[in-house]
């Protein structure tokens, strides 16, 4: 029987300059966490949210940056020809925070 991930994980973010600190995750599914970074509305990077709670994106090119915490929502193991998930995907589990460079 396949696992079914219930509930919705949640975290809160605090911004200090360009450094973003996340809270502990409630209803943590245990799947991979990642930071998603956008600049001027376009995704420019995703990176594993490791054990350190604070993350600072190194890019300082001018623009409006938005950072959000995401977790992988496993739905089923269906994949495309390249072996990548088709229905399981990352979802936002925090509100985004933004800063301008």
Binding of residue 50 to another protein (CB under 8 A): yes
Rounded-to-integer distance, Cα 101 and Cα 39, Å: 10
Looking at beta carbons only, is 43 or 87 nearer to another protein? Answer: 87
Q: Closer to another protein at the Cβ: 50 or 95?
A: 50
- The C-alpha R_g of the chain, in whole angstroms, comes to 15
Concatenating the DSSP letter of every residue in 31-72 gives S-EEEEEEETTEEEEEEE--S-SEEE-----SSEEEEEEEEE
Binding span for another protein by CB under 8 A among 13-21, 36-44, 77-85, 93-101: 77-85
Rounded CA gap, 94 and 83, in Å? 28
Cα separation, 5 vs 52, in Å, equals: 24
Q: Which C-beta is closer to another protein: that of 21 or that of 88?
A: 88
Between 29 and 35, CB nearer to another protein: 29
CB of 49 to another protein, least distance (A): 10
The residue ranges that bind another protein (CB under 8 A) are 1-7, 9, 24-33, 50-51, 72, 74, 76-77, 79, 81, 83-85, 88
């Amino acid at each position: 029987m396949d696992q079914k991930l219930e509930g919705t994980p949640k975290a809160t973010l605090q911004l200090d300059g360009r450094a973003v600190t996340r809270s502990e995750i409630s209803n943590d599914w245990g799947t991979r966490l990642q930071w998603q970074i956008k600049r001027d509305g376009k995704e420019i990077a995703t990176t594993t949210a490791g054990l350190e709670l604070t993350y600072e994106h190194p890019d300082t090119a001018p623009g409006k940056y938005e950072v959000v915490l995401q977790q992988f929502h496993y739905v089923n193991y269906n994949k495309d020809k390249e072996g990548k998930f088709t229905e399981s995907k990352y979802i936002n589990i925090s509100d985004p925070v933004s800063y301008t460079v």
